Structure 1
Amino acid sequence: MEQRLDRYYGIHPGRVLERELKKHHLKKGPFAISIGEYPQVINEITKARRGVSPQLSLKIDHALGLEEGAFYLLQAHYEIDQVKKALKQSDAPSFRKALFWDTDMGKIDWQKQYKAVIQRIFERGTDEERQQVFDFYGRDKIMEVTGNDQIAGNTLPVMAHAKKR
């Protein structure tokens, strides 16, 4: 499984466990009992509500014929990925929550969803927030979304390219 593991890095080990159980045609309850665990524990793990401990990893690895520590390694990579995401969120600009009333600010991927963020800020944000988004994303992304990259008098013509239609 060592060669297959790297493609699962960053995915909760419970998702991988569920896939492995299906692949081996095993049901969660009987599998849990066979390794000396409560079925609820395995169910919580496969639903990504609980992590895999080193002890449980050894039991699962042995039962599925995998290398020792495989599921614990997946757990470690998942946790590292979560920390990276949290750090990326902390680097993100801080805007008023009122601008993003319709979404959870903690779930916004500031890099992937830059078009929507830039558009929202330039439609509803203050001059300071416009400058902050300009500083965060840079000229190229602002130009791509708004059609203009010049801030004159701390304002930017909003969606100039969209109004030409």
Structure 2
Amino acid sequence: MERRFEKYKGIHPGIVLDRELKKRSIKQRPFAMAISEHVQSFNAIVKGKRGITTSLALRIETELGLAEGTFVMLQAFYDIRKEKEKLAKGTPDLSILRKALFWDTDINRIDWQKQAVAVIERVFERGDDHEKQEVIRFYGKSKIDSVLPTKVSPPLALHENEP
């Protein structure tokens, strides 16, 4: 990877490519056609809506005279950053929450932060004590109280053996 691109680690490679094309006064459409890429696909890449494949990255690098692997590495660093963001958000312990609670959706694709209200309401409506306790642990009592101010009874036992 070229040294001048090191500072772009974690940024979508399409955005870096767009910047590079503008810097060289190269229009997207003719460039896409020069590397045998569909114009619409290329536009989606440049806007950061689609990733860059290895074969496309090699064609771009060859056409621009860049070091081999520059855009592949940028894509890898971008993917790493996105994965770290997902991990930082975290998920509740899915071994405690039954998939049947979320029968109408893929439990692995739930955005636990954006859909917090729906998750909390569903677990407190249909879940057992262990599931409710896991949701309280994950979101915190204050978040639960803000979503269900009158529905939460005294705190549930934290452990199975407690009364």
TM-score bracket, shorter-length normalisation: 0.5 to 0.7
Higher relative contact order (CA 8 A, sep 6+): 2
- How many angstroms apart in 1 are the aligned matches of 2:62 and 2:113? 40
Indicate how the Cα distance of structure 1 residues 51 and 30 shifts in structure 2: closer, same or farther if over 3 A, else same. closer
Q: Percent identity?
A: 40
Structure 1 gaps of 5+ residues are 34-38, 156-165
Q: Give the letter for the 1:100 counterpart.
A: F
- How many angstroms apart in 2 are the aligned matches of 1:120 and 1:18? 44
- How many angstroms apart in 1 are the aligned matches of 2:152 and 2:120? 14
| Contact in 1 for aligned 2:52/2:71 (Cα 8 Å) | no
Deviation at 1:89, TM superposition (A): 7.6
Structure 2 gaps of 5+ residues are 158-163
| Contact in 1 for aligned 2:101/2:127 (Cα 8 Å) | yes
- Taking only aligned residues, the RMSD between alpha carbons, in angstroms, comes to 4.2
Q: Give the letter for the 2:137 counterpart.
A: D
- How many angstroms apart in 2 are the aligned matches of 1:17 and 1:101? 42
| Contact in 1 for aligned 2:89/2:113 (Cα 8 Å) | no
Alignment of 1:44-63 (within 5 A): 46=45, 48=50, 51-53=52-54, 56-63=56-63
- How many angstroms apart in 2 are the aligned matches of 1:98 and 1:28? 50
Alignment of 1:106-145 (within 5 A): 106-145=108-147
Q: Which structure shows the higher helix fraction?
A: 1
Task: Report the counterpart of residue 75 of structure 1 in structure 2.
Answer: 75
| Contact in 1 for aligned 2:8/2:16 (Cα 8 Å) | no
1:20-71 CA-to-partner distances (Å, cap 9, x unmatched) read 88x82426873334xxxxx58x9599584x7533x75353135247787542
- How many angstroms apart in 2 are the aligned matches of 1:120 and 1:93? 16
| Contact in 2 for aligned 1:140/1:149 (Cα 8 Å) | no
Of residues 93-102 and 143-152 in structure 1, the stretch that sits farther from structure 2 once superposed is 143-152
Normalization by structure 2: what TM-score? 0.59
Question: Residue 26 of structure 1 aligns to a residue in which SS?
Answer: helix
Name the count of aligned residue pairs.
144
- How many angstroms apart in 1 are the aligned matches of 2:109 and 2:125? 21
